[in-house]
Structure 1
Amino acid sequence: MTNLVIVESPAKAKTIEKYLGKDFTVRSSYGHIRDIQKKGMGIDIANGFEPSYEISSDKKKNVAELRKLAKTADAIWLATDEDREGEAIAWHLAETLKLNVNETKRIVFHEITKPAIQAAIASPRTVDLDLVNAQQARRILDRIVGFELSPILWKKIRTGLSAGRVQSVAVRLIVEREKEIEAFASSFVFRVQGVLQLLDDNGKVVGDLEVKRSATFDNEEQAKEFLAAVQKANLSVISLEEKPAKRAPKAPFTTSTLQQEAASKLGFSVKQTMMIAQRLYESGKITYMRTDSLNLSEVAIEQAKQVISENYGGQYSAPRRYKTKNAEAQEAHEAIRPTDFNVESVAGERNEQRLYQLIWRRAIASQMAEAQLKRTTAEVGIDLLPADKLTAKGEVVTFDGFLKVYNFEGKEEQGLLPPMTIGQKLQLGELQARQSFARPPARYNEASLVRTLEEMGIGRPSTYAPTIDTVQQRGYVVKEDREGTPRDYRQLILTADGIEAQTLSEMAGSEKNKLFPTDIAGIVTNFLSKHFEEILDYQFTAKVEDKFDVIAKGKLEWQQMLQEFYNQFHPQVLAAEDVSREEAGQARLLGPHPENGKPMFVKIGRFGPYVQLGDGENEEKPQFASLMPGQKMDLLTLEQALDLFKLPREVGQMPHDFKAEAVDGSEFSVEKGQTLIAKQGPFGPYLEYGTKLYAPIKGFDPLSITLEEAVALVENKIQTEAEKIVKTFPGTDVKILKGRWGPYITDLVTKKNAKIAKDEDALQLTLEECQKRLDEAPEPKKRGRGAAKKAPAKKAAAKKTTTKKAASKKPAAKKTAAKKTTAKKTTATKK
């Protein structure tokens, strides 16, 4: 008997094939083999939201091979992932290979191990059409939103923009957080902390006690008065409290908690975490990584107990069963855990090892005993201030428990307080009253955005990584580090010698790997909030997810859910057609130019926000100026806009000749007397130092950069250009250049580039080898208008769906009967 098993990925196929006998052939579908057709919307709204599916062009060869194998197989097993996406892939496979969906064997497993695979083979089921319908409803709804909303953004704001049900809500969160930060009014308090010295009965110092005042002071004068009183007062221990405490381990990972912890512990992006976890799953090292369940199987709990007892002792074992808070938790079989707790570390790529160890530690710790602590609190009285006190706290671990393997909170031991008794005297060591500024709301990083989306019920575990990646790719959000700015603060230091006041400086507001919204993100969010309020409503988006869950349980027809949504959504699309481009793009009048009276506007354009001087009336051409890096169009003032028109600015003349020679003998130079001009372009400020010769201005203001600073930037640019050439081949257009990621091969005529491996010596490459690699390299991507020649056809298709027709009217173009029949065959229906 011949058996054909179909999975999604070749890595998964390779692992599974090891566990099945010679009667089984395992092949991969390489993910989805078909999707809604690309031409047009691909959804027949008038015919019950009937989707038209097509086989992806890159999958046709693979589908032909699967059809051939399916014809000769005695039994076919669909073994795609156990979530809705996997169920949909299985259904698409059944439809495409012309299998009977009600008879074809469907198997699922949450780990790729021999026992799990054999257990799945022993108890097959059929494709769950309710799960398929839930995924299909999500796909169709998101296609409708994107297809009808994006063209509105193209026409009203800027070409190339996109909108999506989850994507746009994620952008809104980031935009609104930025508004909170901009509106934040800074305030400060003075906090007191320092060291007191414990004295014995003879007045001898026997130990130090770190103390702080729990309450803060509103100003420096109050803090100074307190320190002055402490200086004169008698200090003594007025209370001692010692009590036991416990610290419990957290549950094993779900998708979102893994993404968050990998970000904080390992510095991984959400996308990176999921890619590495996918590889670990497909190689059989961890269970399925897309889950919102906290559950562990009884087999896993028993194995964890055995491993803990053998490696750490029976007192460290404390089996637990965690319950998922979300009653609608889907794909809920198990939390993410190692397939074998005996394997503490794995071989392979370094980041795979690091993520596996994180998963192993979290899962094993969840089955370990609580950490036992001893917490001590001592209060110090001040006789001149009877209503006030200073407090010291200590904490020691008396039994480490799960902390033996996983200190997930990153808490450091405070240490045990020195021995003391009530009434014991203390003397002043050093106390500080430091000015502490309130912090604005924290910007999102990828991990905190995932946590917020999950808490609000927006999206599902499988959608977080692609959503966060998409908003960055679309230019709505940038992830970057930003330096802080210097800030002065006051500090009072009390010692036996008296009070010393200091003004010190610190860097405030530095950011690392934070998500910042771009200007276009704010404009699109404001436009959608105003005209598509429901789409961007947090509760509405969460309720849509809940409806998908209801469909998955077979308690709601997917067409009914889509019809209810469309009846509300489409009229808003039609109404948005009447919004002017100026209103949508939030063009703002800044005021008249103080000298010529011409109106000045701030607008959004193809390359970002810009200022326009003049309205173009009387055939007079307006003047334009791009905003500086860091300037925001909604905060730009008339005075700042006027400064932008001070560019171009002549900085001065080059005081001397400067040249640099490349390895091929070519020279890069600037002559003495060459005028250096500071300009502002769409990609930021730059210096022009000759015909088509430019040096970016980084770290300086183009309006105030000095000649000395400008000369240094030009010289650095010339030196960099010369050093960029690694090797040339005389008589050819082939060169080896130094790029951002290392050396690469390029052809100056064809503009094709080819890679050079990190461990290769670029200088040893021959012309023949370089030419061979260039021939095999892909054609360079077209940029600018040439790359968008096909766009009008897409726009025309989009326009058809957004013309002002009543929702009740039939579409102008009807599908043929044959096409309808084909579409009906692809709809998931229960029999």
Structure 2
Amino acid sequence: MKKSSMSVDVENNYDPQYINIRGKGPLINDLKKEAKKANKVFLASDPDREGEAISWHLAHILNLDENDTNRVVFNEITKDAVKNAFKEPRKINMDLVDAQQARRVLDRLVGYSISPILWKKVKKGLSAGRVQSVALKLIIDREDEINAFQPEEYWTIDGTFKKGTKQFQASFYGMNGKKMKLTTNEDVKEVLSHLTSKDFTVDQVDKKERKRNAPLPYTTSSMQMDAANKINFRTRKTMMVAQQLYEGINIGTGVQGLITYMRTDSTRISPVAQNEAASYITERFGSNYSKHGSRVKNASGAQDAHEAIRPSSVFNTPEKIAKYLDKDQLKLYTLIWNRFVASQMTGAIFDTMAVKLSQNGVQFAANGSQVKFDGYLAIYNDSDKNKMLPDMKVGDVVKQVNSKPEQHFTQPPARYSEATLIKTLEENGVGRPSTYAPTIETIQKRYYVRLASKRFEPTDLGQVVNKLIVEYFPDIVNVKFTAEMEGKLDDVEVGKEQWQRVIDEFYKPFSKEVAKAEEEMEKIQIKDEPAGFDCEVCGSPMVIKIGRFGKFYACSNFPDCRHTQAIVKEVGVTCPTCHQGQIIERKTKRNRIFYGCNRYPECDFTSWDKPVGRDCPKCGHFLMEKKIRGGGKQIVCSNGDYEEEKIK
């Protein structure tokens, strides 16, 4: 679809207007030539809506029969998975194609209707969208909560107690058997006035066995959240590294896909993978650690479907293949491998004890637990520690060693991080696995929000844009409305809804809102944000502006001074020389792109070719993406010892 226009024929049943991507003519001609030579053409694009639509477009370009069984799907790029997929080719699933078209058309109708209004009324380079506008509103609503928050005082009293020779901690619970909040220092003084030097008596002991089930294997969103929290990966970086692991790494026996497809909201695991995991777990830990025993039977009538994100083979342990992966790949692969193996193990069992003890009506409470059977915790690091209490029974006497009152104030809700924003979007049914990373990237690229201490903070521009969209397009930023729309689009995917009808129900009232906004929305002047340094030409302060191609630095003395500077673009790869900085895209005076470390001049790494974040399996030097004459790219070793197949 053209970038310069909506490319949706609203009057003709919302027919999308497709064009070939500029510059891809030679590739299309090559594909047509090869297709004519072949006895059979198979379409093996990604196993999701977007992949199904790509296969449909290819079928049209190559004049293939839509009803032919030429579509093959696999969730992992391994020899067995690919061979099995070719044993069961199927027709192109038009429900999936329609679902993808519906989403694309809907996004065009929203974005290409609202964005031009924002350009006229606010400034050029702005955008609006179904998911990005909801994400922005969530961030701003949270900021409003923080600004409106009034802290409240409260107090705690923590005590150290002793039973025999063992000490333990307990906290103030209440008075005379009733739970009590301490809101002022006077409350604390009142409680402490009742305490004497006498011993405490155990009033209540509750012992229970508690089971904690293993976590589910990763979906896209849960992987993104854990990668952010545990290995400090940005969402974009997580998906980039996951793509590398999915597409394949040379692990000494050839290039092999190491994980299943990374865009999924399924927690399903295939019986084959369950069997493999059961064998591994039984061999390493014993059969009582395996959730499924040692074998799993195929479910009767089970259909191949999307799976959770898992290693393509559990026997490719992180330790076994570590030497073939770079640091980032190993971090993410280890996260995925550990989560999958843990998900196939039995739950952990804890012995828990809850105790209440009192003196003169003042009651303290303590809780303790001990792992009885570690289950999945044998392999999966967990934040919970054993917190043992000495064995006690009702009527036992314990000594108080000390008590410590402490003042606190309630805290406002935290700003969203990438992980918590994704979690909130998912919990509210907004967006799908393929949309989270680009949504987060877009709201930052448009400068609606900025990251401060890894938390999203709305900018003045974001506040203005959100206010206008809330006023003139309330449904677009309504979480419930957006979630219901996602549900209808999911119904298209399974053949329950006709995609044009879903679009029509949305567009008719929406088009009236567009007309009203064009007529009534007032023009707003936005001040440019200071860049924090001065113009090297005239000495005036530089500011950040947003142009057609994104943000850039410009002199505030315009038009008297027209000096501008590009804002560097990170490529998501750690510097292969210093291993501390990030590789950024830079330009020479003649506008030629090259790549360097953002720690320059401390690190002087530069390269004309883009590093890809992997090391050469032969010599250990960094690999880079080299452009080939006549079109295409190739991954090659910077030392000249290795090269991969050309990519057109």
TM-score normalised by L of structure 2: 0.78
Task: Deviation per CA, 1:340-365: give whole Å up to 9, x if none.
Answer: 11122133111111111111111111
Out of 355, 378, 386, the residue aligned to residue 355 of structure 2 is: 378
- Secondary structure of the residue aligned to 2:455 is strand
Q: Are residues 1:296 and 2:269 paired?
A: yes
Is the 1:241–1:378 Cα contact (8 Å) retained in structure 2?
Answer: yes
Deviation at 1:443, TM superposition (A): 1.3
Counterpart of 2:505 in structure 1 is 564
Match of 1:647 in 2: none
The alignment status of 1:368 with 2:345, answered yes or no, reads yes
Find the residue that maps to 2:267 and give its secondary structure. coil
User: Compared with structure 1, are the counterparts of its residues 222 and 118 closer, same or farther at alpha carbon in structure 2 (3 Å cutoff)?
Assistant: same
Matched residue, 1:399: 373
Q: Computing the radius of gyration over CA atoms, which structure comes out larger, 1 or 2? A: 1
Match of 1:238 in 2: 203
* 2:170 paired residue among 196, 204, 211: 211
8 A Cα contact 1:291 1:331, kept in partner: no
Letter in 2 for 1:523: V
Q: 1:209 to 1:349 in 2, by over 3 A?
A: same
CA contact (8 A) 1:292 1:331 kept: no
Distance 1:743 1:115 in 2: 39
Report the counterpart of residue 477 of structure 1 in structure 2. Answer: 449
Q: Is residue 582–residue 597 contact of structure 2 (8 Å, CA) maintained in 1?
A: no
Deviation at 1:167, TM superposition (A): 0.9
Aligned-residue offset at 1:422: 3.9
Say if 1:225 and 1:339 are closer, same or farther in 2 by CA, change over 3 A: same
Could you give the per-residue CA deviations for residues 786-820 of structure 1, whole angstroms, max 9, x where no partner exists? Answer: xxxxxxxxxxxxxxxxxxxxxxxxxxxxxxxxxxx
Match of 1:107 in 2: 72
Distance, in Å, in 2 between the alignment partners of 1:298 and 1:541 is 35
1:604 counterpart = 2:529: no
Q: Secondary structure at 1:440's aligned position in 2?
A: coil
Whole-angstrom CA distance in 2 between matches of 1:573 and 1:558: 22
State the match for 1:665 in structure 2: none
Q: Would the aligned equivalents of 2:596 and 2:605 in 1 still touch at CA under 8 Å? A: no
Aligned length: 544
Match for 1:427: what amino acid? K
Decide whether aligned partners of structure 1 residues 531 and 281 sit closer, same or farther in structure 2, where only a CA change above 3 A counts.
same
Tell me: CA distance 1:235–1:88, structure 2 relative to 1, closer, same or farther (3 Å).
Answer: same
Matched, 1:423 2:395: yes
Q: Distance in 2 between matches of 1:528 and 1:350?
A: 43
Alignment of 1:683 onto 2:519:
no
Q: Determine if the alignment matches structure 1 residue 576 to structure 2 residue 550.
A: no
CA deviation digits over 1:161-200, x for unaligned, max 9? Answer: 111111111111111111111111111200111312335x
RMSD over equivalenced CA pairs, Å: 3.1
Question: Which of 527, 530, 540 in structure 1 is aligned with 2:471?
Answer: 530
Aligned to 1:787: none
Q: Which residue of 2 aligns with 1:459?
A: 431
Give the equivalent residue in structure 2 for 1:710. Answer: none
CA distance in 1, matches of 2:221, 2:304: 14
With over 3 angstroms needed to count, the CA separation of the structure-2 counterparts of 1:763 and 1:190, relative to structure 1, is: closer
Cα distance in 2 between the residues matched to 1:480 and 1:66 = 47
Aligned partner of residue 457 in structure 2, secondary structure: strand
Question: CA 1:104–1:363 in 2, change beyond 3 Å: closer, same or farther?
Answer: same
CA distance in 2, matches of 1:56, 1:381: 76
Q: Which residue is 1:342 aligned to?
A: 315
Residue 491 of structure 2 corresponds to which residue in structure 1? 550
**1:273 pairs with 216, 227, 238, which one?**
238
After TM superposition, the structure 1 stretch with the greater mean CA deviation from structure 2, 252-261 or 59-68, is 59-68
- Inter-partner Cα distance in structure 2 for 1:159 and 1:763: 37
1:426 CA drift (Å): 3.2
3-state SS of paired residue (1:604): coil
Partner residue in 2 for 1:98: 63
Structure possessing the higher relative contact order (Cα contacts under 8 Å, 6 or more residues apart): 2
Residues 552-561 or 563-572, more deviating? 552-561
Q: What's the offset of the Cα at 1:38? A: 2.6
Paired residue secondary structure (2:403): strand
2:485 is paired with a residue whose SS is: helix
Cα distance in 2 for partners of 1:551, 1:143 equals 18
Could you tell me which residue of structure 1 aligns to residue 2 of structure 2? 37
* Counterparts of residues 442-453 of structure 1 (less than 5 Å): 442-453=414-425
Match of 2:227 among 241, 258, 262: 262
Paired residue secondary structure (2:402)? strand
Q: Is the 8 A contact 2:211 2:347 kept in 1?
A: yes
Answer yes or no: is 1:313 the counterpart of 2:286.
yes
CA distance in 2, matches of 1:381, 1:760: 64
- Aligned pairs for 1:64-83 within 5 A: 64-83=29-48
The alpha carbon displacement at 1:429 in A equals 1.9
Q: TM-score, normalised by structure 1?
A: 0.62
Give the corresponding residue for 1:60: 25
Other-structure match for 1:355: 332
In structure 1, C-alpha distance between the alignment counterparts of 2:538 and 2:130, rounded to whole Å: 44
Aligned-pair distance for 1:273?
Answer: 1.3
What's the CA shift string for 1:564-591, capped at 9, x where partnerless? 2221111111111222425xx3xxxxxx
1:198–1:427 Cα contact (<8 Å) kept? yes
Work out the CA distance in 2 between the residues paired with 1:257 and 1:765. Answer: 35
* Matching residue of 2:218: 253
Letter in 1 for 2:512: P
Matches of 2:315 and 2:229, distance apart in 1: 26
AA at the equivalent of 1:436: H
* CA offset digits 1:434-493 (Å, max 9, x no partner): 111111122111111111111111111111111111111111111221xxxxxxxxxxxx
Opposite residue 374 of structure 1, the aligned amino acid is D
Q: Is the 8 A contact 2:278 2:290 kept in 1?
A: yes
Q: Structure 1 222/523 Cα, relative in aligned 2: closer, same or farther at 3 Å? A: same
Unaligned runs of 5+ in 2: 174-179, 249-256, 294-302, 543-580, 607-625, 628-648
Aligned residues with identical type, % of pairs? 39
State the 1:207 CA deviation.
Answer: 2.5
Which amino acid in structure 2 is aligned with residue 357 of structure 1? T
* 1:655-674 matches, cutoff 5 A: none
Write the letter of the residue equivalent to 1:569. Answer: F
| 1:761/1:445 CA distance change after superposition, 3 Å | closer
CA distance in 2, matches of 1:765, 1:406: 38
CA distance in 1, matches of 2:395, 2:584: 72
Structure 1 distance, partners of 2:462, 2:541, is: 29
Q: What is the alpha-carbon distance in structure 1 between the residues aligned to residue 605 and residue 483 of structure 2?
A: 57
